[in-house]
Structure 1
């Protein structure tokens, strides 16, 4: 049985068990359109309708009730066969992973020792770049992204929340004064990260509601790593992920500003093309990263 047909069967089972394409898409971390296409392809392959669809509910046809029992057994056999190959050290081959420089250096690489100890016969390649990788063109198995996703052909699984904070060095604060409210920011040197959709606009939610501030500064940077270096050099104020600064905040190398004001969180996604999503080594690695992020991000 080819992988495409198995994906169609998984889609059918998810819809049948949840009774809703919407609920199934949330559970599987994919889009409603993708599941609908997979279901239609399965029905075309079988030559019969599996589900009754209405605006209010979805129910199984007689053929669907019969096929569901066989589909459940097929998926159970698939899981059992994969489990037999996923014993310690049995994952083989190569994983090509794309992520930003900061995510790779700060979150991913420190966790790889435990992963490689568990799977010594699996090699890995990290494609570290702050530019979004094209999964298919770059032959990437999985990418970790915090940017908005526009390609509906990709499967995005949320695995963590990245909280953002405002930071500056103690030297900068001593030299240019403290910042007590977002309205103080236009009078400061703010470091502009050009990799966002709205560079120079910082949106806060504070005690009195939402506050949007247009900031300015003499320095704009295209990578978060360079942004970190600029903050440590005392060149200005920046908005950055909190996980970038765990050690530096504890050591007093940087200071968190405006703690009573919250910036919008970013969701961390594990993104795959449909053909890689079913691969056991990809799923296991994403599971591993998600578990590590729980402890690191809090």
Structure 2
């Protein structure tokens, strides 16, 4: 029995809460994963996992062993990396990010990253809902927003400036707001994943202005917000990168130039550890360098 391999399988099964998911990840079968865990339990002489039809839960012995396994696997990875060096980034990078940001800012950059680090493969999960890194088995998560999780490492790699925007046809019909307070009379398209909900925040000369808005459409999808704005349905505050091309072409118009929606920070988030695999650090540094040169996601703005 390869105990290191069994430890890795055991840890991944708990992280993903599924033997089947681990089997797919390792390109094997669910019975094979079950046999690995069973062999490990037989070797140790204890039950590690209490199985049910919908959930995997650790026994008391399993909890202790899980913590030791994490430490052992980190030490093994650290030993291997000390010989390989940072530029020898290898393995599968399990990456998470918001849907539209992934489509527009991450995926187009992957070819350049993979050309630089050909031994790294990307497993990308895109979701607009809150993602639990451990539960979803992610190595690195790109988060947009100013709320940080102190239990994780959050490295700032960019800034997303936001604008108040709609189509020219919408403004011809509804008029242009001159002050954030005017937005209460507009059909505001609300992205419900914002931590402030339907309360939009603006930076004015005299400080922060908060306006509670409303309208005929709200959604938890950034993709749907983009489509709704482009259709002329209403007005939204959105990252400038979401509509940069349309703004430059004149298809959309930015209003309230003296009242900027509060910018949001872009972070590379990963779990605390004594050792960080090269694949994580290389991708973090790659994105930070890329974003620094891109006015839509850098401190410089546009």
Counterpart check, 1:109 vs 2:107: yes
* SS of structure 1 residue aligned to 2:111: helix
Counterpart check, 1:292 vs 2:290: yes
Counterpart check, 1:193 vs 2:187: no
Please list, as runs of the form range in 1=range in 2, the aligned pairs for 1:246-261 lying within 5 A after superposition.
Answer: 246-261=244-259
Pair 276,247 (structure 1): closer, same or farther in 2 beyond 3 Å: farther
CA-CA distance at 1:216 after TM superposition: 1.1
* SS of structure 2 residue aligned to 1:168: strand
CA-CA distance at 1:280 after TM superposition: 1.3
Please list, as runs of the form range in 1=range in 2, the aligned pairs for 1:210-249 lying within 5 A after superposition.
Answer: 210-249=208-247
- Provide, for residues 66-102 of structure 1, a one-character-per-residue CA deviation record: whole Å limited to 9, x for no partner: xxxxxxxxxxxx89x7585444xx4321000000012
Equivalent residue for 2:142? Answer: 144
How does the TM-score come out when normalised to structure 1? 0.68
Please list, as runs of the form range in 1=range in 2, the aligned pairs for 1:12-161 lying within 5 A after superposition.
Answer: 82=82, 84-87=84-87, 90-149=88-147, 151-161=149-159
* SS of structure 1 residue aligned to 2:254: strand
Equivalent residue for 2:20? Answer: none
Structure 1 spans left out of the alignment, 5+ residues:
1-77
CA-CA distance at 1:265 after TM superposition: 1.4
CA-CA distance at 1:149 after TM superposition: 4.4
Q: What is the alpha-carbon distance in structure 2 between the residues aligned to residue 144 and residue 174 of structure 1?
A: 38
* SS of structure 1 residue aligned to 2:226: helix
Q: What is the alpha-carbon distance in structure 1 between the residues aligned to residue 258 and residue 156 of structure 2?
A: 27
Give yes or no for contact 1:144–1:269 (8 Å, CA) kept in 2. Answer: yes
Q: What is the alpha-carbon distance in structure 1 between the residues aligned to residue 209 and residue 127 of structure 2?
A: 32
CA-CA distance at 1:293 after TM superposition: 0.8
Equivalent residue for 2:21? Answer: none
- Provide, for residues 150-187 of structure 1, a one-character-per-residue CA deviation record: whole Å limited to 9, x for no partner: 64321111111111111101111112112221121111
* SS of structure 1 residue aligned to 2:150: coil
CA-CA distance at 1:223 after TM superposition: 1.4
Structure 2 spans left out of the alignment, 5+ residues:
1-77
CA-CA distance at 1:288 after TM superposition: 0.2
CA-CA distance at 1:220 after TM superposition: 0.5
Q: How many residues align?
A: 219
Give yes or no for contact 1:145–1:269 (8 Å, CA) kept in 2. Answer: yes
Give yes or no for contact 1:146–1:269 (8 Å, CA) kept in 2. Answer: yes
Counterpart check, 1:263 vs 2:224: no
Please list, as runs of the form range in 1=range in 2, the aligned pairs for 1:158-197 lying within 5 A after superposition.
Answer: 158-197=156-195
* SS of structure 2 residue aligned to 1:173: helix
Q: What is the alpha-carbon distance in structure 2 between the residues aligned to residue 150 and residue 113 of structure 1?
A: 29
Pair 203,151 (structure 1): closer, same or farther in 2 beyond 3 Å: closer
* SS of structure 2 residue aligned to 1:240: strand
Equivalent residue for 1:47? Answer: none
* SS of structure 2 residue aligned to 1:204: strand
How does the TM-score come out when normalised to structure 2? 0.68
CA-CA distance at 1:243 after TM superposition: 1.4
Q: What is the alpha-carbon distance in structure 2 between the residues aligned to residue 253 and residue 205 of structure 1?
A: 25
